[in-house]
Amino acid sequence: MGTGPESYDLTASRQARVADPADLVGPLEQLVRAIQQEGPLFALWGHSPAFHKYEVLQGDTSLVPNFLMTSEIQWGSGREPQDPTHQVVFFNGHRDDRRVYLRVAFSVEKPEDGVEVTGPGLVAELSLGPDAAGADESARAARLDRLLNLMAELFAADSRRVEARDADE
């Protein structure tokens, strides 16, 4: 049995679909900037469709629109009606207790593919390793609360939660 949680998982979700992936550029950029303001450990990266690694924010330049333009999950590639139609994943590159992982999955109704989307409209998940969440209980609680409330506000969430997940879960 470990000494503490393996990760702190923040989730904000809503039922409403996204009309257009471009509608998420502003909210997602704001979230990435807020996450990165937490310190150097929180610099986020993403993979292009060719699996090249790029820093999401490069000074004043944001690659969020580029990631959203390539976020579609093609029908027939394992996606079921309850699954999202789009997904963006950003990470800080650490796989240990310092890891930061952001996944935003969302659905855009596409009548032309003939399959109705039945899952949530948007789910934003931010997972922080224990060191990224913060060693001090008070600072950790403030960070988790601040980031979860921002996620809920930016994505007009219907529900939100924080979960401390142990390694064996």
Q: Which pLDDT band holds residue 154 (cuts at 50, 70, 90)?
A: very high
Least confidently predicted of 17-31, 79-93, 103-117: 103-117
Least confidently predicted of 24-38, 97-111, 130-144, 148-162: 97-111
More confident residue, 83 or 8: 8
Q: Look at residue 143 and tell me if it is in a domain.
A: yes
What's the predicted TM-score (pTM) here? 0.90
Question: Residue 1: what pLDDT?
Answer: 39
Q: Look at residue 41 and tell me if it is in a domain.
A: yes
Q: Look at residue 64 and tell me if it is in a domain.
A: yes
Question: Residue 82: what pLDDT?
Answer: 73
Q: Which pLDDT band holds residue 73 (cuts at 50, 70, 90)?
A: confident
Q: Look at residue 153 and tell me if it is in a domain.
A: yes
Question: Residue 141: what pLDDT?
Answer: 96
**Containing structural domain, residue 156:** 7-165
Question: Residue 77: what pLDDT?
Answer: 62
Q: Look at residue 55 and tell me if it is in a domain.
A: yes
Is 114 a residue whose pLDDT tops 80? no
Q: Look at residue 1 and tell me if it is in a domain.
A: no
Domain total of the chain: 1
Is 89 a residue whose pLDDT tops 90? yes
| Strand runs labelled E in 41-112 | 45-47, 53-55, 57-58, 61-62, 86-91, 100-106
Q: Look at residue 2 and tell me if it is in a domain.
A: no
Question: Residue 128: what pLDDT?
Answer: 97
What are 34's two structure tokens?
């807020």
Q: What is the mean pLDDT of the chain?
A: 89
- SS3 labels along 122-133: EEEEEEECHHHH
Rounded-to-integer distance, Cα 102 and Cα 32, Å: 9
